Structure 1
């Protein structure tokens, strides 16, 4: 998952390429703030459409007679020029009729006879597709999802503390989160990325965004971007093959210990993100293989901890703790791995 700062950076890059980011995060994570800050930094007007509260007439405008034809009057939110960002908020709770109109906006940059001004940016946001939210049909529709770069956000405690101090949050609350960052928010969510499948369109979209990024950016964000538009499986193969000899697969890192002697911060964070995604999406057959080699994996993770930033590795461990609370083989494996890792750390410190 991305921090708010990372999601903001990638959202702007995606929109500069003419594509649409979809920010996914729990209530209060900062999705709307990202849109506001990008709008402020780029001098654009921000239009926020809370789709769960809209009716078709609010979105497409009201019908009117034009000689012998019916046309729709532009709604009051319709941008006057392209120097605008449209945020489609709560997109997972929109009514089917709103959803259909939004699809036309995403595909053709128009709704009925209203055409978006050239240069208008679009972004969307939604809550995670867990048991607290509805509209499951929307979030599993491949045709709909293929229009977005999916960016999943999890608040970074340091970012939150910085935000809290600027927004007059009580010092007692700030002190508590500073000492116990695991209580900032829940970590469990159901990823949409498993529903994404590659297509000619998605590879074209990925290429457009990558063309605007530096080699340094690609080292840090290539997997995040690729998995958010072509899906995790295609993204893994894409990275493994396109960067052959430069980067190892998650299983090679965990089972064979193929870890570079040194990593810069971008490479380290990118590697940990790939490991997290691998462990959260791995199937039971692969889990059985991993479980039988928990001791080896723990030794390799300890080796990895010496070449990645301390706070990044701590975030990785928190992810394992969350997985260990899950029922079934994934929870059992994560718990076993944590125990082996603790044993390895204890042995190293003797």
Structure 2
């Protein structure tokens, strides 16, 4: 999702009393999202860089109170609820720190210290891939189930704005403006694959949905749901349980049910659902889809003429990354890319 989408959804999630987890490479603006929300909502921002903390920094130091031991509040502890606490670098934190913050995530308290009413919590981390040293892949379902996972892939224009504000050399900015495809590659391992639905996750999703308008649901429902109940359950939920106005990947791929126009949010939501569909489909269904590659490629070419060009280019980059996956899935994506290129080339020649 884009930075602006992550910012908007983070507020909706925190308004419902839940916790967004922003995942993105360095430089996408995760901390800036928290700063912007705090500034716009008139809240103080407390940033806890968990990778640099020890348990005592988080839970406070013990002190003697008559014949009992109590823990003193740490110096960062908020005095009122008009704050946002950002738990940064959550997957770089030592396991003892992550164990300590579980009580904060679950009960909004640590030992005898209770967060003031109205305090907002959010978390952030770099993607779980080989590009970051000392990053532990968090797969504990009990830990992940406390968050709404929001994976950020910034639009080139968003990153350029961030780069200009952060004094990135003009040569680099000019290059990305000319060649936006080199901004980043989406080859990270998605934490959403580790998420499974549970009674708790459905409850959390319901709380956030109550904050959304019907228009919000059309644009963001799948993104939100996949971040708390997982892509597979979210796909079924969106396709069958909510609204017939929201297109399913199967309708687009096979039936060619494509709107005549879409705004950028609707387009991004649909393209993300298409990628997640390919990512999560089993081999039996993939074999059937492979027999219909001609139909699928023709429908995707039609879709490319409706969605913004930047959005479809991002979708193609994701297909290229998936084509490197070993086995049938990689072969399917590779064949699909070739057909799309051939179809686009033939249509370009016919128009000349």
TM-score bracket for the superposition, by shorter chain length: over 0.9
1:260 aligns with 2:262: no
* TM-score normalized with structure 1 length: 0.94
CA distances 1:105-160 after superposition (whole Å, capped 9, x unpaired): 000110001110111110001111123355646x1111111110000011211111
What residue in structure 1 maps to residue 319 of structure 2? 320
Contact 1:254 1:300 survives alignment (8 Å): yes
Aligned residue in 2 for 1:144: 143
Write the distance in 1 (CA, Å) between the matches of 2:33 and 2:305.
Answer: 33
Say which SS state the counterpart of residue 23 (structure 1) adopts. strand
Q: Measure, in 2, the Cα distance between the counterparts of 1:303 and 1:165.
A: 36
Cα separation, partners in 2 of 1:140 and 1:108, compared to 1, 3 Å? same
1:266 to 1:153, Cα distance in 2 relative to 1, 3 A: closer
Q: Secondary structure at the match of 2:302?
A: helix
Q: Equivalent residue for 1:341?
A: 340
Which secondary structure state, in structure 2, belongs to the residue aligned with residue 308 of structure 1? coil
Deviates more, 1:244-253 or 1:223-232: 244-253
Q: Which residue of 2 aligns with 1:224?
A: 223
Give the equivalent residue in structure 2 for 1:8: 7
How many Å apart are 1:207 and its aligned residue? 1.3
**In the alignment, is the contact (CA less than 8 A) between 2:55 and 2:97 conserved in 1?**
yes
1:246 alignment partner, SS class: coil
Q: What TM-score does the superposition give when structure 2 sets the normalisation length?
A: 0.94
Which segment is superposed worse, 69-78 or 42-51? 42-51
Match for residue 159 of structure 2?
Answer: 160
Runs of 5+ in structure 1 lacking a partner? none
Deviation at 1:95, TM superposition (A): 1.5
Aligned residues: 348
Q: What does 1:169-248 correspond to in 2, within 5 Å?
A: 169-248=168-247
Look up the match of 1:310.
Answer: 309
Contact 2:218 2:246 (C-alpha < 8 Å) held by counterparts: no
CA 1:134–1:196 in structure 2 vs 1: closer, same or farther (change >3 Å)?
A: farther
What's the RMSD between the two structures over aligned residues? 1.7
Name the CA distance, whole Å, in 1 between partners of 2:143 and 2:315. Answer: 31
Contact 2:48 2:86 in 1 (8 A): yes
Q: 2:80 is matched with which residue?
A: 81
User: Unaligned regions of 5+ residues in structure 2, if any?
Assistant: none
